[in-house]
Structure 1
Amino acid sequence: MKERKLTAMLPPIIQSLLKSEGTPGESGQVNLVQTQMSWILFAGNLVYKMKKPVDLGYVDYTTLEKRQYYCNREVELNRRLCPQGYLGVSTINLADGEYSIDGDGEVVDYAVKMKKLPQEKMLDYLLANNNPTADMLSQVAERVAAFHKKAETGPHIDPFGSIQAIRFNTEENFTQSIKYADKVVSRDTLDRIKDYTNRFLNNNSALFESRVKEGHIRDCHGDLHSSHICFTDELCIYDCIEFSDRFRYSDTAAEVAFLAMDLDHYGRADLSQVFIQRYLEMTRDSQVETLLNFYKCYRAMVRAKVNCFKLDDPYVDSEEKQRSLLKAQQYFDLAESYTLQKPWLLVNVGLVGSGKSTLAKELARHMGIVVISSDIVRKTLAGIPPVESASQGMDTGVYSPDFSRLTYETMFNQAASWLKKGVSVILDATFVLALSRKTAYEIAMKYNAGFAFLEYTISDEEACRRINHRKLEPGNVSDGTTQVYFKMKSEFEPLDKTEAQQRVIIDCAETTAENLAKVRHFIFNRYRS
């Protein structure tokens, strides 16, 4: 019933094409995906992308001639990075009251015709299923670096890298986002992001000028994020921006920052750094690192506002709007995190089953933090797959005191390496011993990082319930048991008064969102520097 109601809300041309008779493809079923600007029809091995007749200010598809022009432009531009995926432009025809693709009758619209790419090989799918490798991101970096080297540049493109143009783009973000203040994002967050953006622009005018003079302003992809990357036999980077030269003509550093930010958004700041470092090795463009957080912040704001726009789209159903709301809030959080002036070291302190890993993953997604998990480090050192049990009994095997010390030492070394690069870290372990907490604090001080303990409180009953339930979850990497819980509880060394001053209490009776907000409040309001 719900599906029929939603279909009835669609324009007649789309309703008709959803019937397989008029839509070519190997499969008899046609499926629809919508964006703010497009209707995308999936028909077997083919995809047809039609442009909605909308004028959003930054894009105007209101006439047939414009839609034809931009369909042709989309094919031309996307063949630069995905020649095998773009097959051409199809006509939408009307004859005897029936619509068809590449059929007979009057041409009433146009669609970009594409080869369907395998969903399971899309980078966003791989990220959601924890499958991408460092080598894959290195491959993307190499492809993007080679593309940037050959991408068009010149006097007609250079002005888009001027500080005036960049200021216009950033100000547009704030102008278009302000209507969502106190509905999707707090005004304080928007103010922090705007203050950071303006300060960076005011303090780095010479840097932006040099980017133009040195030829770094290019005809780029313009929308380089994980859902536009597919690891087919030949790497395919598709769906670039065709509707606005202004959004595509940009500093190559801004393009690198877009994908780096998106990897942060998926909680994989580690892969983000792999991508960045390989790109720098390929291009020798040392200025990228200085510009990275600025452009990450800008790109996160773009993604936030695009998701906000869906909240006003009458063709987007309520479930999709709710997903867009949550995404927008996450992107605003991420944008704010890039305004921090130094990295942070967060240290989980709590017993098994208290929700440490759950909050660590959310912090990674909302703040671009690298998660260093004791469970994964321990099993990696032992040569054991993360989801395989390594338990041989308490205080034996990989859980012996000596192996536990090695695990913590490895975590500390990894944390130091990331902090040295200016990347924030959360250490996801129990930290029941005061000595291990002291070592973590000393590492943060050595690298001038912000610091906080996240101390988890939970009842015995709830902890045991979670531990027993977790055993049934696919992909669980923890070997924690109720016996381990009570043993750790007996060995726990409480935080002293000094440690308590750098502590955020994580109440496991509260939601993950509430605890996430408490950590962010501590970072942004108590220790802003």
Structure 2
Amino acid sequence: MPAPSVMQAAEAMITTILAGKAPARAASAQHQSTPAASAPHLVQTHASVVVLLPDLAYKLKKPVNLGFLDYSTPMLRRQWCREEVLVNAPLAPGIYLGVAPIVRTQREEMHIGPIFSPESVPEPASSLEEGTVVDYAVVMRRLPETATLAGWLQSGRLSAAMLEAVARRLAAFHAEARADDEVRRYGQPELLAFNWQETLTQLQPYLGRTLDQSTYEQIQRYVEQFLAQRRALLLGRIAQGCIRDGHGDLRLQHVYWLESPPEDGQQEPQLLFLDRIEFNTRFRYADIAAEVAFLAMELEYSARVDLADAFVDAYVRATEDESLREVLPFYLCYRACVRGKVASLLLDEPEVPLEERDQAQQQASALFALAAHYASRPAGATLVMIGGLMGTGKSTLARTLQQTTGAALFSSDVIRKRLAGLAPGETRAEAFGKGIYAPAWGTRTYQALHALAILALQEGRSVILDASFLRREDRQIMAQAAAAQGVPTFFIECFCPKEEALARLRHRWSQRQRVAAPGSSGTGELSLRSSTVEASDGRPDLYDAQCAHWQPCLPETEKIIGVPFRTDRPLPVLLAQLLDILGQPRLACRLVQP
């Protein structure tokens, strides 16, 4: 519970403003401001009391020690007020004006002192002209709540284009953020485990109040399994420079969009990120996926999965961070738990109105349910072989699954062309089993496919392999390699009516010949991974020959999970079914056009 001095100071601010003895408005405004009709009032959070005035906001820190933050003494509150201004100024220029001391006069009245820069804030008990310093407040220009992403969302005006702009701005911020050894060590699995254990411990008082025991245990199991089974993936994120000094609390209500939504070709809007965490660098030093997860989780919590997808897709495009999607569910679960914890903390603060506490209880329960949903997906890596005859839609399905899950994707068609010194888009009208499709070339191709899959599995990645897998031996070799890594193997055997496959082959070969014509482009990327460039040379006249060489899948013999998969249905339906088969929850999944 806040010390009386803090509440007295907050209430005294309003009294002083209403009496006309202190400014209610900023001297100048470079940004949109809240309408003057808004009367001064207080807002409670679990750690602060905020005095909202028409053009200004005074943020006082409660004298509490919650473990993860400590505002328990005036000197600590001075320190963290100063730090809050310093860390937020670059992301919100012109908004954080400084720190104002709260002073007690000789008549025992609370007054607002002048605004000081972070470097010159007087210490507690200092004597000023206005009185003796007893506490502090961060002083900010007040921006309209309607300008937050939460406000745009509530009004129904938040769009995919807006979220894409936010993703680009966030990616640019992360690219320039600190990533030295001190920051990078916070990506270590042991420190992630510490963060999780701290959160889970702090949730225990709320068992039976905002979450039940079974939900708690489900989340705990998922975290333990992910940290154990994806250790290599997490260490790889450190090596890739993905651990940065970020924002730490990137919620919808902390991102401000101060211009109208953009149309194609318009200039980027003015975006401000407020309330960057100052009280614990451990919460800022994190995987960039943890920052992406906060906004994505809140959008999903708000039933706008489409906007969450647009945001994540845009961020991945901007950063080319392929493995982000693989760690994203882990951080989505964490963010949902943290927000559920913060909402739960309000239940034990008697100064918070009963109606707000009831709302907090409902919100916390919903957030923990969302966390459990994220925790329902497999924690470990998976090998998915997507095979079948030509024309059955293997590559389209594989690419769509990769864009949804972030798994590493390797295509035998792309690998074969690269081994032959060809670009993926180049065509070869070879007879069945001849040229680069001769048995020796097939062996080389599958050996390379095997090597790439093993390397990715050793890095903790899930792997999708796009190949026909005609031979049982090739499937078994892959499954044995995955089993050696403790990874389950799925063989998705694509099939469709022959007439459908032949029609697809005729259309695709016709398209391929046009793309490969002299003067055309489309040679593809210089990578052994699957590309969006069509690399298959399958043709209708080869279909029967390939069918004759097909070796049926024997799951028990091959030690795989074999799944016959009919593909003559809409792609969104196929994706949803495949995700169910693989045990992936649908909430964070969507169709990405190949």
- Give your verdict on TM over 0.5: yes
The one-letter amino acid of 1:183's match is R
Rounded Cα–Cα distance in structure 1 between residues aligned with 2:237 and 2:64: 35
Aligned to 1:11: 7
Q: Which of 99, 106, 112 matches 1:101? A: 112
2:95 is aligned with 1:88: no
Task: Give the Å deviation of 1:420.
Answer: 7.3
| CA displacement at 1:262 relative to structure 2 | 0.9
Match of residue 38, structure 1, among 34, 48, 53: 48
2:58 to 48, 56, 59: 48
Aligned equivalent of 1:161, options 146, 170, 187: 187
Contact 1:224 1:258 in 2 (8 A): yes
Q: Is the 8 A contact 1:122 1:229 kept in 2?
A: yes
User: Which of 236, 252, 256 lines up with 2:272 in the alignment?
Assistant: 236
Retained in 1: the 8 A contact 2:81–2:137?
yes
Q: Which range moved further: 189-198 or 25-34?
A: 25-34
How do residues 180-199 of structure 1 correspond to structure 2 at under 5 angstroms?
A: 180-199=206-225
Distance in 2 of aligned mates of 1:153 and 1:285? 16
One-letter identity of the residue aligned with 1:93: V
Verify: 1:60 aligned to 2:70, yes or no: yes
Alignment of 1:387-402 (within 5 A): none
CA contact (8 A) 1:9 1:315 kept: no
Question: Superposition pairs for residues 79-228 of structure 1, below 5 Å?
Answer: 79-95=89-105, 96-102=107-113, 104-228=130-254
What displacement does 1:183 show? 2.1
Q: How many residues align?
A: 359
Contact persistence 1:10–1:315 (CA under 8 A): no
Matching residue's letter, 1:14: A
Query: Alpha-carbon deviation of 1:256?
Result: 0.8
The ranges of structure 1 where at least 4 consecutive aligned residues each deviate by more than 4 angstroms after the TM superposition are: 416-420, 438-442
C-alpha separation in 1, matches of 2:181 and 2:242 = 12
- In structure 2, what is the equivalent of residue 323 of structure 1? 359
TM-score of the two chains, using structure 1 as the length reference: 0.64
Amino acid at match of 1:163: P
2:373 matched residue in structure 1: 337
- TM-score, length-scaled by structure 2: 0.57
Matches for 1:258-277 after TM superposition, within 5 Å: 258-277=294-313
Q: Using the alignment, how far apart are the partners of 1:308 and 1:295 within structure 2?
A: 20
CA deviation string 1:4-26 (max 9, x = no partner)? xxxx9983222222212354213
Task: For 2:146, give the aligned amino acid.
Answer: E
Q: Deviations over 1:430-453 (max 9, x none)?
A: xxxxxxxx97899358742439xx
Q: Is contact 2:325–2:405 with CA below 8 Å preserved after alignment?
A: no
Q: Secondary structure at 2:578's aligned position in 1?
A: coil
* SS in structure 1 of the partner of residue 101 of structure 2: strand
1:421 aligned partner, one-letter code: T
Shift of 1:202: 0.6
The separation in 2 between residues aligned to 1:418 and 1:327, in whole angstroms, is 32
Note closer, same or farther for the CA distance 1:175–1:276 as it changes in structure 2 (3 Å cut). same
Is the contact made by 1:24 and 1:101 (CA closer than 8 Å) also made in structure 2? Answer: no
2:580 to 435, 450, 465: 450
Q: What RMSD in Å do the two structures reach over aligned CA positions? A: 2.7
Question: Which runs of 5 or more structure 1 residues have no equivalent in the other structure?
Answer: 1-7, 343-412, 424-437, 452-519, 521-529
Alpha-carbon distance in structure 1 between the residues aligned to 2:136 and 2:276: 18
The structure that has the greater radius of gyration is: 2
Task: State the Cα distance separating 1:418 from its structure 2 match.
Answer: 9.2
Helix, strand or coil: the match of 1:59? coil
- The one-letter code matched in structure 2 to 1:296 is L
Measure how far apart 1:40 and its partner are: 0.5
Contact 2:6 2:60 (8 Å CA) reproduced: no
Say which structure is richer in helix: 1
Tell me the distance in 2 between the aligned counterparts of 1:169 and 1:144: 23
Structure 2 gaps of 5+ residues are: 26-35, 115-129, 260-269, 379-395, 407-567, 586-594
Q: Compute the displacement of 1:179 (Å).
A: 2.0
Q: Does the Cα contact within 8 Å between 1:90 and 1:101 map onto a contact in 2? A: yes
Does structure 2 conserve the Cα–Cα contact (< 8 Å) formed by 1:46 and 1:116? yes
| Contact 1:49–1:113 under 8 Å retained in 2 | yes
> Are 1:78 and 1:86, in contact at CA under 8 Å, matched by a contact in 2?
yes
Secondary structure at the residue paired with 1:189?
A: helix
The structural deviation recorded for 1:214 is 2.2
Structure 1 residues 403-440: Cα deviation after superposition (integer angstroms, max 9, x where no partner): xxxxxxxxxx9xx97997259xxxxxxxxxxxxxx978
**Aligned pair in 2 of structure 1 residues 446, 91: CA closer, same or farther (>3 Å)?**
closer
